[in-house]
Amino acid sequence: MTLTEITAAIQSIKTGIKIVRGFNELKSEFEIKSATSELLNAIIDVQNNLLSIQSSYQVLLDSKNEIEKELDNFKNWETIKLNHNLKQVAPGVFVYVRKESQESYDNQYWLCANCFSNQKFSIFQSRIPGNVEDFICHSCKAKISLPSKNNPSKINRGGSWMSS
């Protein structure tokens, strides 16, 4: 679309140049008035085409920024994916955990597997502060309940639900 507008603008400029070059040969006032009016039209055409190009350019620029943002998000998500593993924290209860989470208790969190599959980073939170049995994903409202012996602090202290 922009290419057509550029071609049209160039064409109008050529027309304008031709009119100006022919000015010396104009004899009557009528011919001069007519050529002036033609020149004005050519200039208006150029202006309209440039405005159109400007707006098309803005659309392209917005779209380029949007694509770059999506690409960044995609790259970030790829990094998140690489750093997390699916883990069964109780029979039939799956969450994503950080691969190195066993090393640092402070950073341990469970990611909602449902949100994770939609490329969304959402951490399971205690439904009641201090309660380590019921968790909710505030993003998709998924809930998980664990038998009390399976709570994350106990898992982290070395006794996973499988071995205990």
Binding site residues, Zn ion, CB under 5 A: 112, 114-115, 122, 137, 139-140, 142
- Residue 53 C-beta: closest distance to Zn ion, Å: 45
Q: Do 112 and 123 touch, CB atoms closer than 8 A? A: yes
- Residue 54 C-beta: closest distance to Zn ion, Å: 43
Q: Which is nearer to Zn ion, 13 or 142 (CB)?
A: 142
Q: Which is nearer to Zn ion, 65 or 118 (CB)?
A: 118
- Residue 74 C-beta: closest distance to Zn ion, Å: 20
| Residue keyed to tokens 């640092």 | 104
Q: Which is nearer to Zn ion, 50 or 142 (CB)?
A: 142
Two structure tokens written together for 99: 């691969």
Q: Which is nearer to Zn ion, 39 or 112 (CB)?
A: 112
Q: Which is nearer to Zn ion, 88 or 104 (CB)?
A: 88
C-alpha distances in angstroms, 144 versus 6, 25, 31, 115? 60, 89, 86, 14
Q: Do 139 and 120 touch, CB atoms closer than 8 A? A: yes
Local structure of 134: helix, strand or coil: strand
Q: Smallest Cα–Cα separation from 118: which of 134, 133, 96?
A: 96
Q: Where are the beta strands (DSSP E) in 75-158?
A: 84-90, 93-98, 110-112, 124-126, 134-137, 143-145
- Residue 133 C-beta: closest distance to Zn ion, Å: 18
